[in-house]
Amino acid sequence: MNFKENNQTNEEPFLNSLVFIDPAITDYYSLISQVKASEVILLDSSRDGIEQITETLANRNNITDIHLISHGQVGNVQLGSAILNINTLATYTDDFQKWSKSLTPDADLLFYGCNVAASEEGLQLLQQMSQLINADLAASLDLTGSAILDGDWELEVTTGNIETSIAFEAQITYNSVLDLSFNYSNFASTNGLTLNGNAATVRKVLQITPASTDQVGSVFYNNALTVDGDTSFQTHFQFSLKRGQKTKGAHGFVFMLQNSQSNVNALGKYGSYLGYGSYSTTKPVISKSLAVEFDTYKNLWDNNGNHVAILRDGNVKTALAQGNPSFDLNSGNPINAWIDYDAITDQLRVFLSETTIKPIIPLISYTTDLSSIVGSKAYVGFSAGTRKRFNAQNIENWEFNQTQSTNAGTIALAENPILLSEGNQTATVTFIRTGGSSGQASVNYTTVDQKAKAGEDYIANNGVITFANGETSKTLEISLIDDTISEGVESFNLAIDNSVGATLGTKRTTLIKLVDNDRTSRQLLFELPTFTVEENSGQATVNVILNGKPSTTPVTVNYTTTDDTAIGGIDYTTTNGTLTFASGEIVKTITVPIIDNLTSTLDLNKTFKVSLNTPNGAILGTFNNTIKINIADDDNAFSREAIVSGLIDPTAFAWTPDNNRLYIAQKNGIVRLYHNGSLLATPFIDISAQVNNIRDRGLLSIAVHPEFDSGKPYVYLLFTYDPPEVYDPNNVNNPNTLAGPDEMGNRPSRLIRVTADPSTNYTTALANSEVVILGKNSTWANISRPDLDSTNDITIPPSGITSTGVNIPDYLTTDSQSHSVGMVRFAPDGSLYVSNADGASYGRVDPRGVRVQDIDNLSGKIIRIDPLTGEGLPDNPFEDGDRNSNRSKVYDYGLRNPFRFTFHPTTHDIYIGDLGWTTWEEINRGRGANFGWPYYEGGNGTNIQQNGYSTLPQAQDFYNSGQSVTAPIYGIEHLPDVSGLIMGDFYQGTTFPSIYQGALFFTDINYGTVNAAIVDDLGIQSIQQFATGLPGIVQLSYGPDNSLYYADIIQGKIYKWSYNG
């Protein structure tokens, strides 16, 4: 950049220049004395620095240049307590516009923090700020500060012609850098560090303790890191423990982040306290700290003398998590450690290697909240100690990077359903963003026909809704067509998919109901045929619709309640009255008071009816002129407790046959173990490197072999698969492709088996015990465009099918961000069942979805195999003599997303929960059955053509062929509290009340209503509401001690229901 040359130290000060300095930077006083500007303002580090600058500029004019001297990093600037980046920029729009009023038209603004412009996000930050402030900006794309630490004072990136020079004298004396990150390739210089106790540098190596007895030392980076709930970090250092007693040396060292009163001078006791702990556990020297211990001596409280552990608050005796490396920490050889903390997942991971290549699998994975431990800031560094045993405990290089994680939140649809007249010009649909709103985010949407058709009843609409940073709600107007046809109430859907910059919520469809305005014989009807209300809700409110030509005179209808199993005066208040529809009104409500009997007696859900009668100005509808209202009993004596907490997106769990161990699958590919009443810190296994964890993909199910305790200690893992090619350098972090790890490009899935290690009491998996059971051909070569996401681009050819139309055997397709594999579960006969979704787009008509009707393709199937070989079984319904063929493995087909299933405890029939699209959820039962998707969806014992897919040529051919399909035994129409069925389990115990014994439990992932159904050979005979308000249940299973257990992916917990009656 073309700064003005200014080499004279006695130059007149810049009379219209302001320099703002954040005192959080190291040795800020030395910079003040070297500033040339007319005025230096110190920010308050505890307050928002941007707001402070706004306050300072409020009464000033004609400022020519502003210099901001503070910490920075890639794409980020720290000003007081504020972090400024592209995601937080919009928060300060008003401030920057106020700045502009105080500046001259050609003013300059200079950022001195390190690496601010060293990314695309940093460049966008400068460009957008330049437009808001109407000034020219400059920033650095490398380290700013001391040349000894590889820094300089050149601001290499500008948005215009910078006319001012830098704020300092020509020769700047400063021994640090303005960085939230640092990198010591060696320790020839310790500028920026504070060394305490016996710590010293020896031959460019940082020696925390020398090789002698009774030594203790610590080293800390001088700049305190600002910490909040969004603070993540990554650090890498190489260490060697040598020159003393070598493999018999002691005691080790710790890496820590601490906010103790001693700040950079913190130092604990020697020996086994490692410079971190002290003799008193009630008054620790280094409190408010989180540490990783590298321990080389077995104390009384240690399991062994060669381990890595997570510690906190100066307590060396209680390890929060521990890992045992396969090599000796005291070998004297260089050992590399990587420690990563992710603020979004609260996951701390420690990696260790004897090479400079970072391992894929961490030695330790531990869940913790950094900010809750250290508070608002932390100093990072090391400490070590020796006693009678010793080694030189050396750090040879050290790199540290702090990042600010942002919570972009979740995008979903709000209303369901929307009810309005077809005479309205538009229907307004609301999109909501919850759980965070950082950064820009978007979601695709499209309309989908039901009885209402695009071009006849509404204008088809598809596109993208974009949320700006901080926005939490957006609306979309859909144009309606006011036809002249007399018809009933018709509906269409709006569906969303492919969110970018935020998570896609589970509420992905909204039903839009259009009331007719042409029928001359107006009809009066209830909006719904049934309605469920809690006993303690106080009232039930239901809608009555007037369908037909608007009346110029009032339309009236009487209504009255009648008993069924609910009794008026005891369970509800007998109610009757008259509804009056004024001109133009299409909906009125009836409210019936509900009586809570306030007893602890468990009752069956009770029902009563509300009927319409004596209409005036209209007729009663042929259907829905009576509504059944279910009163869900709330007088149960059940208790619900979280038995396992601290999990990250738990998706599934499985008990060992002796009920002593609970293996828990996390969506990210880590399997945790709950044993003897506690969650073990060390994972059973971490396969995250091969799990594609994005959107609805990930490690989705787990099963334990029924002979686990009898010589087959096998654990089965079902997941969306990232083949090794995702780690090709051309794919990793490449913005031009979706082929990298955890990207949204097309992927396959796999089922693997691992062996639990008896030498660790089955708490970890045997290394290299993995066997692929299903998906052996789920390889990179068989994926159609792993670099692209075909959720929306349905023109991309399907994966797992050759160019000549031949199905590849043993390939599991996920050509979508969702609709991957579902569940793996053992049947009572010892066979292994797997559910696999259609792998097609979940938000639009996708012609590739028709492959579920092909029994030579594994998409949209229930698969039944030998658990040891993965081969199809000889008694499978479509077995063709080749146990490895696709059709030999198929048990049922014609399914959309059979995420969970279960087996009847006596008949052993399979019960499948199939997540529907726009209108229906299904419970299916059968062997060798075709359940009809994508040509049919929904119905109760009947088949209903799927409106969206019915126009495909393949669908018409299927309808004309006369082929039969198996109807659902229970279809659940999408109502205000129904949209995502999760099949549970049969309750097989005797401790629950009799109305639940033998019942089939299922739930709704979005609304959290748990139901219990009584089932017989004819289907579902009755349904009892069991619980409400529990969204996020992804597995619901009968477990030991006659209880029900469930995994809550939102809360990160495993819960248990017990009966206390």
* CA gap 404, 232 in Å, rounded: 6
State phi, psi for 1000 to the nearest 5 degrees: -95, 120
Q: Strands 606-616 and 626-632: what pairing?
A: antiparallel
Nearest 5°: CA angle at 671, between 670 and 675?
145
The upper half-sphere exposure of residue 38, i.e. CA atoms within 13 Å in the direction of its Cβ, equals 9
Cβ–Cβ under 8 Å, residues 749 and 772: no
Q: Does domain 410-515 have CATH number 3.30.450.20?
A: no
**What is the predicted pLDDT for the residue at 765?**
96
* CA gap 495, 445 in Å, rounded: 6
C-alpha distance from residue 642 to each of 434, 651, 1046 (Å): 24, 15, 9
* CA gap 621, 521 in Å, rounded: 10
Q: Looking at the domain that runs over 184-404, which CATH code has it been given?
A: 2.60.120.200
Common-topology check for domains 184-404 and 410-515 = no
* CA gap 760, 147 in Å, rounded: 51
* CA gap 302, 883 in Å, rounded: 51
**With 0-12 CB in 10 A as exposed, 13-18 as middle and 19+ as buried, what is 691?**
buried
**With 0-12 CB in 10 A as exposed, 13-18 as middle and 19+ as buried, what is 320?**
middle
* CA gap 969, 1019 in Å, rounded: 5
Domain regions of the chain by residue span: 14-178, 184-404, 410-515, 523-635, 639-1059
Nearest 5°: CA angle at 646, between 640 and 647?
95
Cβ–Cβ under 8 Å, residues 309 and 303: no
**With 0-12 CB in 10 A as exposed, 13-18 as middle and 19+ as buried, what is 857?**
buried
* Count of other CB atoms within 10 angstroms of residue 639: 11
What's the DSSP call for residue 1028? -
* CA gap 268, 275 in Å, rounded: 4
Task: Identify any residues that bridge with 235 across adjacent strands, giving them in sequence order.
Answer: 339, 400
Residue of 541, 535, 640 whose CA lies nearest to 598: 535
Residue of 398, 400, 373 whose CA lies nearest to 260: 373
Type of residue found at 94: D
Please name the residue that has the structure tokens 């300060």: 92
* CA gap 648, 346 in Å, rounded: 8
The upper half-sphere exposure of residue 398, i.e. CA atoms within 13 Å in the direction of its Cβ, equals 25
**Max Cα distance, the chain (Å):** 102
* CA gap 78, 69 in Å, rounded: 9
Tokens of 1016: 């017989």
**With 0-12 CB in 10 A as exposed, 13-18 as middle and 19+ as buried, what is 308?**
buried
Residue of 744, 731, 889 whose CA lies nearest to 812: 889
Tokens of 749: 């899935």
Q: Which CATH number fits domain 523-635: 3.30.70.270, 2.60.40.2030, 3.30.70.1450, 2.60.40.10?
A: 2.60.40.2030
* CA gap 85, 124 in Å, rounded: 9
**What is the predicted pLDDT for the residue at 975?**
72
Cβ–Cβ under 8 Å, residues 20 and 43: yes
Q: Chunked in runs of 10, what are the mean pLDDT values of the chain (1061 residues)?
A: 30 67 78 81 85 93 93 82 83 93 94 87 92 94 74 90 84 70 82 90 95 94 77 92 78 94 92 87 79 92 91 92 91 94 87 88 86 91 92 93 73 87 94 85 88 92 89 94 91 87 85 92 92 89 94 95 94 96 94 83 81 96 91 79 91 96 96 93 91 95 97 98 92 82 95 96 94 98 95 92 96 96 97 97 92 98 98 98 97 98 97 92 97 94 91 95 94 78 95 92 91 91 88 94 93 91 70
Q: Does domain 639-1059 have CATH number 3.40.50.300?
A: no
* CA gap 295, 383 in Å, rounded: 12
Residue of 316, 335, 331 whose CA lies nearest to 244: 331
Cβ–Cβ under 8 Å, residues 857 and 885: no
CA dihedral sign, ordered 455, 457, 459, 463: negative
Cβ–Cβ under 8 Å, residues 233 and 221: no
Kind and range of the H or E run holding 740: none
**What is the predicted pLDDT for the residue at 376?**
82
C-alpha distance from residue 811 to each of 90, 164, 748 (Å): 46, 63, 7
SS3 506: coil
Q: What does the radius of gyration of the chain's CA atoms come to, in whole angstroms? A: 33
CA dihedral sign, ordered 146, 152, 153, 155: negative
Taking the CA atoms of residue 628, residue 634, residue 635 and residue 637 in that order, the dihedral angle to the nearest 10 degrees is 130
